[in-house]
Structure 1
């Protein structure tokens, strides 16, 4: 860590670049899928865009830099515009985390290609180190975003999926849970002992996921 920051100062420019790309594509995936499934709300708000400025949330970005977890601006979705509101709502919500998983997979694929064909050997040390660092951050940050967004606490995607999955008769219980959700979230993030036995082991699964994703890629490339 770099003092108050979760990441080292030396890697901060790369971290910011990866965050901008990852957050932008995550929110674009929500907005685009909603638009294609019949809800133009996000389109009307200018969110069906790859312009980072319409997606980034200042506090959510600061939280990711400080605590290692964060978020962008939620995409407005009107499920009433869908033909099958609950099913399509789940699809739209899942599109965001899945986009991060796809970005991680692509980054692993590129990283393995560099290893197989030795493309880094002909570069300067500075250039090769920069490429490796960028790809490593693309993998780890996107897998962290994938896992983090699946946590069933509002306003994360995991909670929205739960809302669409559970029976409507449980909606009142979910509303009561929302009142305590932010408190639970802050306690888990900032109380060290609590985080070490809950959030950190869960986010530590990124290494298992990265290994799982790399195996078929290595097999395809004959490594």
Structure 2
């Protein structure tokens, strides 16, 4: 039986860091593209932290159920880049890198709050600090998951654009064409895990997430 109260509490804690993580991820793509000469994201109004501009409904809902998610991809036109392949690699790298940076900032907040001395554990200050502590902890988890997930070399995830840069041009082209099936590959892996009891995605995601969480000294 689904614990409704537990899910509401989880959503209330995770909502802010998740929205921030998705927005920062997409804005990072757009900013690097702009820096490399592509104004497409700016012209599309995507260089903003307004979540309505970046949310993919399915990707957002998926995060709450299977702990993986995605935003609406920022439009990028590689024809503006002096070196299109390198430009696409740098743009792709910016998304996960922004999530790892944001995870580090949430970790700083977590440790600052955790180290705060509270004279009255049942007082108003604690009633404010404890939810903030949970939000910071969730912020670390959300950003590490998104960062690691997007580094998977499954087109069209960011990891595929990074890997494609190091492949011969013809092979990279064939590889990136798999992007039309990427969504189905991810969903297939999730369903396979549900059917077999062994999650391939979980095996790929959670060990590095737990390792990075350990480096940040934040329980995941």
TM-score band by shorter chain is: 0.7 to 0.9
TM-score, normalised relative to structure 2: 0.85
1:199 aligns with 2:201: yes
Residues 25 and 98, structure 2, Cα contact 8 Å, conserved in 1: yes
Q: How do residues 1-223 of structure 1 correspond to structure 2 at under 5 angstroms?
A: 3=2, 8-118=7-117, 124-171=125-172, 173-174=174-175, 177-178=178-179, 180-191=181-192, 192=194, 196-204=198-206, 205-214=208-217
Query: CA 1:120–1:148 in 2, change beyond 3 Å: closer, same or farther?
Result: farther
Separation in structure 2 between the aligned mates of residue 36 and residue 120 of structure 1, nearest angstrom: 49
| Cα distance, 1:109 vs structure 2 | 1.4
Moved more, 22-31 or 165-174: 165-174
Provide the secondary structure at the position in 2 that maps to 1:196.
Answer: coil
Segments of 5+ residues of structure 2 without an aligned counterpart are none
Separation in structure 2 between the aligned mates of residue 113 and residue 4 of structure 1, nearest angstrom: 32
Separation in structure 2 between the aligned mates of residue 36 and residue 161 of structure 1, nearest angstrom: 18
CA RMSD in angstroms comes to: 2.6
Separation in structure 2 between the aligned mates of residue 152 and residue 34 of structure 1, nearest angstrom: 21
Segments of 5+ residues of structure 1 without an aligned counterpart are 216-223
Separation in structure 1 between the aligned mates of residue 139 and residue 74 of structure 2, nearest angstrom: 23
TM-score, normalised relative to structure 1: 0.84
Query: CA 1:56–1:163 in 2, change beyond 3 Å: closer, same or farther?
Result: same
Query: CA 1:34–1:103 in 2, change beyond 3 Å: closer, same or farther?
Result: same
| Cα distance, 1:161 vs structure 2 | 1.7
Query: CA 1:121–1:151 in 2, change beyond 3 Å: closer, same or farther?
Result: farther
Separation in structure 1 between the aligned mates of residue 133 and residue 152 of structure 2, nearest angstrom: 29
Moved more, 44-53 or 138-147: 44-53
Residues 165 and 172, structure 2, Cα contact 8 Å, conserved in 1: no
Separation in structure 1 between the aligned mates of residue 77 and residue 3 of structure 2, nearest angstrom: 39
| Cα distance, 1:142 vs structure 2 | 0.5
Q: For this pair of structures, how many residues does the alignment match?
A: 213
| Cα distance, 1:203 vs structure 2 | 1.8
Query: CA 1:119–1:80 in 2, change beyond 3 Å: closer, same or farther?
Result: farther
Residues 23 and 50, structure 2, Cα contact 8 Å, conserved in 1: yes
Q: Could you list the per-position Cα deviations for residues 110-163 of structure 1 after superposition, in whole angstroms to 9, with x for gaps in the alignment? A: 212223343696753421220111011000011000110011112211112223
